[in-house]
Amino acid sequence: MRQLPWLSLIIFWPLVAACVMPALRGDAAACRRFAVLAALGELALCALIAGLFAAGSFGPELVEDAAWIPSFGIRYSLSLDGLSLIFVVLTALIGLCCMLASRHDDRERPALYHGLILASLTTVQGIFLASDVFLFALFWEAQLIPVFFLIGVFGHGDKLRVAMKFFLFSATGGLLMFLAVIALGVLSANAPDGPNFALEALTRLDIPQNVGRWLFAAFVLSFAIKIPLVPVHMWLPDAHTEAPTAGSLILAGLLLKTGGYALIRFALPLFPEAAHAFAPALTVLGLVGLFYASAVAVAQEDVKRLIAYSSIGHMGLAVAAMVSGSRLALGGAVLLMVSHALTSGGLFSLAGAIGERLGSRRFDILGGIWNKAPHFGAAFLFCVLASAALPGLSGFVGEAMIVFGLFKVNVLAAGLAVAGMAATLVYLLRLARDVLYGPPRSAVPFPDLDAREAVLLSLLAVGIVWLGLFPGPVLGLAAEPLNAIAARVWPGL
């Protein structure tokens, strides 16, 4: 069992399925069925590996390694530990939700539409599994391509301008990080083993302080754009507003998480001295984002745009926790990212359904949906409450861990985090009130959830409740990798 290329299968199975899609392009129903089956296959494969990992069949880490470009020390090197396993399974789950949410956006060129979603899954899985920094940078750059076309071809409104904005922001950050990766390779050339891009080997490099800080800044700028951290967040609200529903799920559920994961996995252990030096600035930016997002979100007139700003606030809080120097807060940040993927996935799916039913997502035509479609209303309220971190749901555990962790190391930051979380309740209450209650402002019929939507939301709801009540298994999976990273960055913990 161990000899099978499990990690390569996880990464490239969606890409193989995407390559089959053109053969089905004349039959939209066949495209949808095959895409759902391919996503189900990816989720089943990840679940099987998670089961084998939990049973100890792979030991603490599953590795695939082969020489790729030996003269430059570049290897095809993948590894899976408990931390990457969490995000690999999350990617497969969100991928299946994307397929279930695509019934209306894929009417034109369904083969291309589903092929782009599958290709994006490949690039995201590659980011979570790469342990060679050069290979990681390649997957990081490649993830722009399918999402750019998903927004630019299948988006709404001013989709080309928005797709270009997303591409320029992300490519600029990616280019700076790629130059930093090349610099690391040059610095490693004088090491005993010669040029090397292995993450573990690079963490042992003796990098001059000033050089390390510049390289850390290049890495963090690229990750901050993807997270997104204020003030490099400007691409996100537009991208979410004009993207198809599946595009919003990929953006909120996966791409934002690649930024947070990369900050923990690569930037912190590679440059621990710089992480200490930049921690106050990153904490301020994260907390500013929490308040800024709340202030702007409450003034939005489009449901998807409001939810997009909520993502900036939640991820800002996660960044403040990641650099806090608290092991408890670091674990909370991981749990908060997983919770945000599930709750924002549910909210974006429901926002997309509102647009499909009414032709608009503006608040001035909403209201009274609870009476028109009670199952839809219940699902919407559940996702709002999960986003508000109601006890018993996933968001509560992550935010509680972050607050308790911050109080141990920085009382002022903890107090501001609590105030910021309270501020998020204002726009979430407005979201629930203006969508669900009051007199209906539109005479257009509003059908209740269909079977496909019910399955999609049930998958997310199970994850939200399970994480809220039984977070132990997820925290246990992440414990050993996070302990190793924390010991590298904050040895005194």
The angle, 0 to 180 degrees and rounded to 10, between the axes of the packed helices 327-358 and 82-100 is 10
Report the distance separating Cα 277 and Cα 210, nearest Å: 11
Q: Of all helices (H) and strands (E), which one includes residue 77?
A: strand 74-80
Nearest CA to 251 out of 262, 241, 240, 237 is that of: 240
Residue 130 phi/psi, 5° resolution? -70, 135
Report the distance separating Cα 377 and Cα 453, nearest Å: 13
Under the banding of pLDDT at 50, 70 and 90, the label for residue 311 is confident
Nearest CA to 184 out of 213, 215, 142 is that of: 215
Look over the chain and give the mean of its residue pLDDT values, rounded to a whole number: 90
Q: What pLDDT was estimated at residue 241?
A: 84
DSSP code string of 261-304: HHIIIIIHHH-HHHHHHHHHHHHHHHHHHHHHHHHHHTT-SBHH
Report the distance separating Cα 43 and Cα 12, nearest Å: 13
**Mean pLDDT throughout 265-283?**
94
Under the banding of pLDDT at 50, 70 and 90, the label for residue 285 is very high
Nearest CA to 249 out of 137, 353, 389, 379 is that of: 353
Exposed e or buried b for every residue in 182-207, given b needs 16+ CB within 10 A? Answer: eebbebbeeeeeebbbbbebbeeeeb
Q: What pLDDT was estimated at residue 57?
A: 79
User: What residues form DSSP beta bridges with 78?
Assistant: 64, 130
Q: What pLDDT was estimated at residue 2?
A: 59
Q: What is the pLDDT of residues 73-95, one digit of tens each?
A: 899 999 999 999 999 999 999 99
Q: What is the pLDDT of residues 147-165, one digit of tens each?
A: 999 999 988 888 889 899 9
pLDDT of 1 over the 70 cut:
no
Cα distances (angstroms) measured from residue 326 to each of 242, 339, 485: 38, 20, 12
For residues 184 and 158, the model is more confident at 184
Nearest CA to 83 out of 46, 127, 128, 43 is that of: 128
pLDDT of 341 over the 90 cut:
yes
Residue 368 tokens, joined: 């009274």
Report the distance separating Cα 125 and Cα 85, nearest Å: 10
Q: What pLDDT was estimated at residue 479?
A: 93
Q: What is the pLDDT of residues 105-143, one digit of tens each?
A: 777 788 999 999 999 999 999 999 999 999 999 999 999
Contact 180, 151 (CB under 8 A): no
**Mean pLDDT throughout 381-388?**
92
| Residue at token pair 């009051």 | 438
Q: What is the pLDDT of residues 391-408, one digit of tens each?
A: 999 889 999 999 999 999
Q: What pLDDT was estimated at residue 55?
A: 83
Residue 327 tokens, joined: 């092991």
Handedness of CA 450, 453, 455, 458 (dihedral sign): negative
Beta strands in 199-350 (DSSP E): none
- The helix/strand/coil state of 382 is helix
Q: What pLDDT was estimated at residue 440?
A: 80
